[in-house]
Every structure is written in structure tokens, then in C-alpha cells.
């Protein structure tokens, strides 16, 4: 049964053909082939359906999920929340030419597992670079790749499709893909994929904590520069007065320099404390000299 509004997420390693597959699905150049560290969302009307496609950023082909940057993992998780209430299918992109080894399967599985175990029943493996198959059928190709690819396909309920992104005029490849997505929805009792709220909440909490830390850092930096500017102003003024009146004053020039350079090694806390001291005692003490 045709679904009027389909939501699709494209997952895969870098340069696997995610953007190209998005463009072939939507039938025009919606996705830029330039790499993005963030998810990209595009829409279009295809074969009487309104389609939303999200491209999640990719990981390095051989990189186990444990070595992937935290920000990348967060983006992958957030990709499924960009098409609420959730995608009908997650397309796991694999170029046909990829020699499928165990470490590659582990990397793919690890990144896909970030979305939780339930995602596998909504996952379809989408082979790109279909043109490089030439006379070989996709079934022959799967067989030739051996156990590792078969294990991944088993995890996806043996759902797969092959795309040739170089041949956009072949609409049947997209119609067949949309039908396979609709079959997947039917296999899931008409339901889309919904990520576990706890996974999303964990990511949102991490993001909020990071934002708070960044704000605090900016605040401390602005206080530090204010304090340093004030300190420099006081120091230059005292130096000027020392030279002008040709007296040693309270600080000799040497003492003055060492005191002045010392603040460069201060920690933000020392600077904050000194700012208070400067703005009360010091300012009062030298008020007359500065005038």
C-alpha cells in the first residue's frame, strides 16, 4: 500500500554515495556533494508521494564506532529526530565495489546500533554504484562477498536494493525502492521507526551541558581580557609616570616588570580574584598617582 508521506534517513560511511542516492530518490540535485558535518534534510514530490530525505554525516570507512568523534555520533542519533515522528526506513548505503570485510561490517553495525536495536527492522541495505556491477546480478555479487555481507543482510531481514546514481532517468529503480520501503512499513505493522526517548534525552543533555560550558568559557574570557586591559592600562600609566618624574616610586622598574609579566601566567581564577583586588584597593591606592 502506497504511503502518501514517506520519511527516509540515509546512513553510511563517508563517500558511500548518500547525497547521490538522495538526489536520485528526489529526482534532482537537492543534496550538495560537498561534505557536511551536520545532517541535511530535503523534500520532494516523487511518484505521487511526499518524500522527506535526511542525510546523516558519514564515518570513516574502517573506523570502529568507539573511535568516532562524539559530535558525529550525536548527529547520527539526531538524524532520526529530524523527520518527526520518525523515519519509515533507514537506508544503509554501501557501494557495490566495497570489499566487504569483517571490520567493515563491525564499523557499519556499530554506527547503526547507535540508534538502538529496533532500528534493524526498519533498515534496508542500499547498494550504490550499481553501474559497476555490469553483467553481474546483485544476488551474484552478494554471494561472492561471502559471510560478512550476508550476516549484515540477515540483520536487516534480507532487505536490500541496488541503485545506479549515474542513471537518474531510470525511474523504475526509485519506484521499486519506494515499494520496498512500504513493504518494510507493512512488516512493522504499519509503523515507522521511533528512537528510544532515553537515547535522545542523553544526547540532548550532553549538548546542553556543552553549551553551558562554552557560555562559561566565553564569560571568563571576556572577564580575563577586561582585567588584563585594566592591568596593562595601570601598568603603562605607572611606567609613564615613573619615567616622567624620574623617580622609582613605589615599584622600581624591575619590580614593575616582574609584577607585570607575572599576570600572564595567572589562571582565570587568579585573574578574577585579582580583578576584585585591583578594582578596590589598587584603584583607590593609585587614584592620586593616575590623575
By beta-carbon proximity to Mg ion, the closer residue of 17 and 87 is 17
Rounded to whole angstroms, how far apart are CA atoms 115 and 67? 17
Contacting residues for 57 by C-beta, under 8 A, at least 6 apart: 35, 36, 37, 38, 39, 72, 75, 76
Which parts of 233-262 interact with ligand GTP (CB under 6 A)?
none
Rounded to whole angstroms, how far apart are CA atoms 179 and 174? 9
Q: Report, in Å, the least distance between residue 35 CB and ligand GTP.
A: 4
Under rule CB under 6 A, residue 79 binds ligand GTP: no
Under rule CB under 6 A, residue 128 binds ligand GTP: yes
Tell me which of 8, 9, 11, 18 binds ligand GTP, using CB under 6 A: 18
Please give the backbone phi and psi of residue 62, each rounded to the nearest 5 degrees, phi first: -100, 0
Rounded to whole angstroms, how far apart are CA atoms 233 and 263? 13
| 150 CA to centre of own chain | 29
Under rule CB under 5 A, residue 19 binds Mg ion: yes
By beta-carbon proximity to ligand GTP, the closer residue of 144 and 166 is 166
Contacting residues for 262 by C-beta, under 8 A, at least 6 apart: none
- The residue whose Cβ lies closest to Mg ion is 19
Q: Are 9 and 92 in contact (CB under 8 A)?
A: no
Under rule CB under 6 A, residue 15 binds ligand GTP: yes
Under rule CB under 6 A, residue 17 binds ligand GTP: yes
Under rule CB under 5 A, residue 20 binds Mg ion: no
Under rule CB under 6 A, residue 118 binds ligand GTP: no
Where does this chain bind ligand GTP (CB under 6 A)? 12, 14-20, 33, 35, 58, 128-131, 163-166
Where does this chain bind Mg ion (CB under 5 A)? 18-19
Amino acid at each position: 500500500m502506497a504511503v502518501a508521506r514517506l520519511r527516509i534517513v540515509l546512513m553510511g560511511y563517508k563517500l558511500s554515495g548518500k547525497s547521490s542516492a538522495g538526489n536520485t530518490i528526489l529526482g534532482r540535485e537537492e543534496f550538495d556533494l560537498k561534505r557536511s558535518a551536520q545532517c541535511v534534510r530535503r523534500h520532494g514530490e516523487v511518484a505521487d508521494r511526499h518524500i522527506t530525505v535526511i542525510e546523516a554525516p558519514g564515518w570513516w570507512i574502517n573506523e570502529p564506532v568507539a573511535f568516532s568523534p562524539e559530535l558525529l555520533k550525536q548527529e547520527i542519533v539526531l538524524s532520526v529526530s529530524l523527520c518527526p515522528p520518525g523515519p519509515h526506513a533507514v537506508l544503509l548505503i554501501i557501494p557495490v565495489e566495497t570489499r566487504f570485510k569483517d571490520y567493515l561490517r563491525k564499523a557499519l553495525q556499530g554506527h547503526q546500533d547507535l540508534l538502538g536495536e529496533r532500528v534493524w527492522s526498519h533498515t534496508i541495505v542500499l547498494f550504490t554504484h550499481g553501474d559497476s556491477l555490469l553483467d553481474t546480478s546483485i544476488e551474484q555479487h552478494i554471494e561472492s562477498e561471502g559471510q560478512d555481507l550476508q550476516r549484515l543482510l540477515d540483520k536487516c531481514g534480507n532487505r536490500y536494493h541496488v541503485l545506479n546514481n549515474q542513471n537518474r532517468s531510470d525511474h523504475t529503480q526509485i519506484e521499486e525502492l519506494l515499494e520496498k520501503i512500504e513493504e518494510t512499513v507493512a512488516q512493522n505493522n504499519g509503523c515507522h521507526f521511533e528512537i528510544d526517548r532515553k537515547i535522545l534525552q542523553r544526547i540532548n543533555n550532553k549538548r546542553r551541558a556543552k553549551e553551558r560550558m562554552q557560555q562559561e568559557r566565553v564569560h571568563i574570557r571576556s572577564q580575563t581580557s577586561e582585567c588584563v586591559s585594566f592591568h596593562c592600562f595601570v601598568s603603562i600609566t605607572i611606567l609613564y609616570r615613573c619615567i616622567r618624574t624620574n623617580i622609582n616610586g613605589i615599584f622600581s622598574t624591575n619590580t614593575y616588570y616582574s609584577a607585570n609579566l607575572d599576570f600572564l601566567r595567572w589562571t582565570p581564577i587568579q585573574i578574577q580574584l585579582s580583578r576584585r583586588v585591583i578594582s578596590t584597593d589598587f584603584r583607590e591606592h593609585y587614584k592620586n598617582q593616575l590623575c
